[in-house]
Amino acid sequence: MSTSFRHDFIRFVIAQKVLAFGEFKTKAGRLSPYFFNAGLFHDGVALKTLGQFYAKAIVDSGLQFDMLFGPAYKGIPLAAALSIAFADAGRTLNYSFNRKEEKDHGEGGSVIGAKLAGRVLIIDDVISAGTSVRESVAIIKAAGATPCGVAIALDRMERGTGALSAVQEVKRDYDMPVISVANLDDLVEFLNVDQSLSAFLNPLNRYRDQYGIAAGA
């Protein structure tokens, strides 16, 4: 996947105000110089473009899969947008998603959409603590299907409580790949190129030095 593609994605999320710079407190209590909020992809054009970025990253990865799963809540529109992007490219993909609370009436159950089967690719925005991935893996396996990977928009490349990032922990714990459209290194490269955002480069580098995963990890 080319650097220009990843930079195009970063330019897109900044324009959508999905990626913002400043000072933001994370769930871990860290003061981050940037924040990624996928909930701000809230119009048709933005979702269509986002789905196209995901689709290219997934195709370029070479991963083989049969259907999509979007964990509630942010993964739901992402899986839908991605299935549309693949349809536009000539591939029809089933997708499903879960609800937070299981229903005991109507269609019942906790999974809505296509029946989980074959190799299932999980679609989410980011991986913070890995909670939604764990829940998704359990749902997919309980249905007799195989979780084969995770696709996310941005890999923060940030350590958790140990030496590994949440993304690395998912790779280790489930022995499956995590595909990201862009990562923190791409963001740093972009800020090096875009002079209008150069003021945010030093805070981002300091944060990466303090919390980033080790080089080559």
CA dihedral 18, 202, 190, 199 (to 10 degrees): 70
Whether 215 has a pLDDT exceeding 70, the answer reads: no
Q: Which whole number is the average pLDDT over 212-217?
A: 67
Pick the CATH number of 3-211 from 3.30.1330.10, 3.30.70.260, 3.60.9.10, 3.40.50.2020: 3.40.50.2020
**In this model, does residue 191 exceed pLDDT 90?**
yes
**So what's the pLDDT on residue 110?**
86
Angstrom distance (rounded) from CA 97 to CA 75: 8
Q: Is 116 in contact with 67 (CB distance < 8 Å)? A: yes
Q: Is the pLDDT of residue 107 over 80?
A: no
In the predicted structure, residue 210 carries a pLDDT above the cut 80 = yes
Instruction: State mean pLDDT over 14-32.
Output: 92
Provide the pairing of β-strand 94-103 with 109-113. antiparallel
Between 1 and 24, whose confidence is greater?
A: 24
Mean pLDDT of 59-70: 98
Active site residues: 103, 105
**pLDDT band per the 50, 70, 90 thresholds, residue 82:** very high
- Average pLDDT of the chain? 92
Among 29-43, 97-111, 154-168, 171-185, where is mean pLDDT lowest?
Answer: 97-111
d(CA 141, CA 41): 30
* Res. 214: pLDDT tops 70: no
Quote the pLDDT of residue 188.
Answer: 94
pLDDT in tens, 139-187: 999 999 999 999 999 999 999 878 899 999 999 999 999 999 999 999 9
Type and span of the H or E element at 20: strand 19-25
Q: Classify residue 9 by its DSSP letter.
A: H
pLDDT for res 130: 83
d(CA 191, CA 113): 40
How confident is the model at residue 85, as a pLDDT? 98
Contact 167, 140 (CB under 8 A): no
Contacts of 163 (CB under 8 A, 6+ apart): 213, 214, 217
What pLDDT, on the 0 to 100 scale, is given for residue 29? 86
- Tell me the three state secondary structure of residue 155: strand
| Tokens 């890995």 belong to residue | 130
